[in-house]
Every structure is written in structure tokens, then in C-alpha cells.
Amino acid sequence: MKKTFSSIMIIIGTVIGSGFASGKEVAVFFSRFGKVSYFFISLSFFLFYGLIYFFLSRGNKSLNKLAESKTFSLLCLFVSLIFSSSMFAGTLNVLPPSNIIKMLLMTTILLVCVIVASKGIKSLGYINGALIPTTIFCMAFVLLSNLKHLSFPNFNQNAYAGLLFAILYAVLNFSISGVVISSMGEQLTKKQKAVVSFVSSFLLSSFLMLTNFVLLSNPEAIGQDMPLVYISSGVANLFISFVIFSGCITTLFSLVWTSRLALKRFGVSLKWSIVISIFLPLSLSMLGFGSIVSYLYPLASIVGIGILLLIFTFPVQNH
């Protein structure tokens, strides 16, 4: 039970980053297609389940086969750095205005990044197990408090493009987090893998659906950098700030570890791989959260397709 819970929390924490928590990813990949987006989000549940179960069941064997591939490592590093920069940008957006508090929080986050990059998956389990249950509660409160009425607008977007974006979204979230998910698979039984895949997929797609309801009920928010922050007020505004902060740092920790593993395959020392994994995306975050999600995320999705193709097409026998 403990392993199942920890695995679910790690998966949720890896996926529910700044783009997911702020509603920006939902706006870019689903809501802008109007009423047909509800169907595509329903489809995402099956995409999530299939990808999570694959990584838990066979992903580690495929990743072992690719461990010596510098092309694969470079692709992982590219996507991971883009995501990491978004997490840093999202964190900076929701930090308190006080410079002293900002400095203390960012210093703490950077120190934990160093610890996770050094220690790996076990440290992620402890961090996510503490933060993610509270994050889920706060996210549900924010969405339910902003849900005015069900809305089914049609923005005259191409439905086929919506299908493509739904697939890209699944790829976007699991091309890199698959490295983290795969590392958990050997600790779980077949039944546990099925439970982890189902619960994780259900929670993620449920929050996607609720967020989509809220955004289509407030269409003026869809074009905002952080749609849920834009429409939230009072207690909901405090909660969504916490959700984004928690989602950013839990995803960031996973990505830093992933980047460090990729750099290791190029012979980069532990010290320098940690420095690059942390401070390069921190510099890229200066581009701004909205720009990164709107322009770099779709590019990262395309690269992510290449990563998944490599993983799925390599033999799965033990290396």
C-alpha cells in the first residue's frame, strides 16, 4: 500500500507542474478547441493509462537499452531543460513580493534540487508524499469555487488539430516523466502497476476536465499567462498560488534528476551536471512563463514524440 501511494504521488507530482496547475496547459492544448475539448480530455485518460502502465511494466528495460545512446540522452536533456525553465518561471510568478522571502524560498528550492539530483527517486517519494495530498485538495477547492456554470462554446477550431494536440499533450507530460516512472516499476507487482496507472490517470484527467469546465465558463481567461490565477480571488487565490508553487517544485525536482542522468551519459561530472541541470533552466526562465508554455512546449512535444518512438521501438529484453 505504501509503495502504491508513493508511486501515485510521484507521478502526480511529476505531471502537475506550473502549466497544469495554472490552467495554461489546458488552455493551450484543450480549451481553445471549445466544446470538442471535453471529448479529447476523456480520451486523455486512456492515453495516460497506457503510457503510465507501459513505463511501469517495460519502460525501465527499454530505457536500459537506450542508456548508451547519446542521441536519446540529448533529446531527454533538451525537453527536460525546457520543462525545468517553465517550473522556475512559474515558481517566480507566485512567490511573495518580499525580496527577503523570495531569496530564502529560492535558496531552499535550489538546495533541495541539489539533494534530489544527488539522491534520486527515494527523496522524491518523501517530498511528494508530503506535498501532493494537500496540493490535490487545494486544486479541487480552487476549481470548484470558480465553476459558475457548464459551458459548451465552439471557437471554430479544427477538431482534427484538437485530436493532435490531445496526443501531443500526453506525449508532453510523459516523454520525460517516463524516466522517473520507469524507475519505480521494478518495485511494484503487476496488480500494483495497474492500480497506480488507473488512479494516477483518473486523478489527472479529472483535474483536466474540471479545469476545462472552469476555463470554458470564463473564456476571457483562456488567453492569460496563468488562467486560474486570473480568475481566482480571496482564499482561492491563495490556494492556487500554493498549488502552482507545489506543482512547480515537485515537477522541477523530477526534471533536475532527469537532466542530471542525461548529462551523466555524456561523461559530465556530478558537480557540473547538477550546476547545468539547475542554473541553465533558471536562466531560461527569464523568457517568461507564458512564452515558454505557448511556444517551447509544443516544440518539446514534437521532440517528445521522438523520445517515445525510441522507447517503444527498442527491444525490451534485459540489457
- Can you give the pLDDT at residue 309? 76
Q: Please report the domains of the chain, with CATH numbers, ordered by start residue.
A: 2-313 (1.20.1740.10)
Shortest CA distance to 31 belongs to which of 149, 142, 157? 157
List pLDDT tens digits, range 129-170.
888 899 999 999 999 988 877 666 666 667 677 788 888 888
The torsion angles phi and psi of 158, rounded to 5 degrees, stand at -70, 120
Cα 1 to chain centroid, rounded: 24
**Cell numbers describing residue 170:** 500526453
- Can you give the pLDDT at residue 195? 94
CB 73 within 8 A of CB 266: yes
Average pLDDT over residues 86-91: 87
The torsion angles phi and psi of 152, rounded to 5 degrees, stand at -130, 55
Shortest CA distance to 153 belongs to which of 220, 205, 228? 220
CB 127 within 8 A of CB 246: no
- Can you give the pLDDT at residue 316? 47
Cα 16 to chain centroid, rounded: 5
CB 225 within 8 A of CB 290: yes
22 — pLDDT class (breaks 50, 70, 90): confident
pLDDT at 229 over 60: yes
How far is residue 275's CA from residue 171's CA, in Å, rounded to a whole number? 27
Average pLDDT over residues 80-90: 88
**Helices in the chain by DSSP H: which ranges?**
2-15, 18-22, 24-29, 37-54, 60-65, 70-94, 99-119, 121-146, 159-174, 177-185, 190-217, 227-231, 235-264, 270-284, 289-291, 297-313
Shortest CA distance to 293 belongs to which of 227, 245, 237? 227
Distances (CA, A) of 41 to 12, 76, 91, 173, 187: 17, 26, 26, 14, 30
CB 84 within 8 A of CB 17: no
pLDDT at 123 over 70: yes
List pLDDT tens digits, range 256-285.
888 888 888 888 898 899 999 999 999 989
User: For residue 17, which amino acid is it?
Assistant: G
- Can you give the pLDDT at residue 204? 93
- Can you give the pLDDT at residue 318? 45
The end-to-end CA distance of the chain, in Å, is 30
Whole-number average pLDDT of the chain: 84
Q: How many CB atoms lie within 10 A of CB 139?
A: 26
List pLDDT tens digits, range 94-108.
888 888 888 999 999
The three-state secondary structure class of 257 is helix
